């Protein structure tokens, strides 16, 4: 399984991904993101799903970008190009995979800005090759193991009010909630920050030791918060003395 998160804010984009990849009975550590650049503008994408589908799609897409990225001026053109390659791989492999009982599966988060875009964009691309743009009302998306980390983001992230620092911190807490609940999501994690009006992407890999103190503090804070919530409403439900 995978955990990849993209957050869109008025101050820029924040992305985070784990690095565990499972192939058969083998688990390896590898990055799940790719970066493409056109002059001072940058695009990143993160993927989850069946490894063979992902690798083939990204091979085709990277070849496409070598030939056509210079002629693209809008992010939607890049997203459409990826969708076309997903459909190409589906046409080649989906029938065989279906016959083997294997689901054709690839999900992608793509973010960035090209010279024709008025602001940074964030997209979610589905296994069918279609896509949605992540809006301001619900400014984040997760692919892979999304259930455990969504609540903290939904309660806290706001496109207009959240800073890059706040989003990065909350994004890690979302990852940590997933990590402790799913044994196929884990360290190290890769972080991408793309500040508004910046010509550079910030890319950083963090190991467990880098965030152990924060993870421990988060667990303690959760325990304290639960203890502080009133429980008088349980009277009449539980036996006396419970």
What percent of the chain has a predicted confidence (pLDDT) above 90? Answer: 82
Q: What is the mean pLDDT of the segment spanning 141-160?
A: 94
Q: With cut-offs at 50, 70 and 90, classify the pLDDT of residue 236.
A: confident
Q: What is the pLDDT of residues 14-33, one digit of tens each?
A: 999 999 876 666 777 889 99
Give the span between the Cα atoms of 129 and 79, in whole angstroms. Answer: 9
Average pLDDT, the chain: 93
Q: What pTM did the predictor assign?
A: 0.93
Q: What is the pLDDT of residues 188-205, one digit of tens each?
A: 999 999 999 899 999 999
CB atoms within 10 A of CB 186: 18
Q: What is the pLDDT of residues 70-82, one digit of tens each?
A: 999 999 999 999 9
Geometric angle at alpha carbon 7, from 62 and 3, rounded to 5°: 70
Residue among 159, 171, 156 at smallest CA distance from 134: 159
Structural domain boundaries in the chain: 3-48+106-228
Give the span between the Cα atoms of 210 and 229, in whole angstroms. Answer: 31
pLDDT at 21: 77
pLDDT at 77: 98
pLDDT at 233: 87
Give the span between the Cα atoms of 153 and 179, in whole angstroms. Answer: 15
* CATH fold of the domain at 3-48+106-228: 3.60.20
């Amino acid at each position: 399984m995978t955990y990849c998160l993209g957050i869109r804010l008025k101050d820029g984009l924040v992305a985070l991904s784990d690095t565990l990849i499972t192939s058969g009975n083998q688990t390896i550590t590898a990055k799940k993101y790719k970066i493409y650049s056109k002059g001072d503008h940058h695009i990143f994408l993160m993927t989850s799903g069946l490894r063979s589908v992902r690798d083939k799609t990204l091979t085709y897409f990277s070849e496409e970008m070598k030939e056509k990225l210079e002629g693209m001026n809008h992010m939607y053109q890049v997203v459409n190009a990826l969708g076309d390659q997903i459909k190409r791989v589906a046409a080649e492999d989906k029938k065989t995979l279906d016959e083997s009982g294997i689901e054709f599966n690839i999900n992608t988060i793509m973010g960035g800005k090209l010279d024709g875009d008025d602001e940074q964009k964030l997209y979610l691309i589905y296994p069918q090759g279609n896509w949605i743009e992540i809006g301001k009302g619900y400014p984040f998306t997760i692919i892979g193991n999304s259930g455990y980390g969504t609540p903290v983001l939904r309660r806290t992230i706001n496109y207009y009010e959240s800073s890059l620092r706040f989003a990065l911190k909350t994004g890690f807490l979302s990852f940590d909630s997933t990590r402790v609940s799913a044994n196929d999501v884990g360290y190290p994690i890769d972080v991408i920050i793309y500040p508004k009006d910046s010509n550079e992407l910030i890319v950083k890999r963090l190991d467990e030791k880098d965030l152990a103190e924060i993870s421990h503090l988060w667990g303690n804070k959760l325990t304290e918060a639960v203890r502080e919530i009133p429980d008088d409403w349980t009277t009449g439900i539980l036996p006396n003395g419970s």
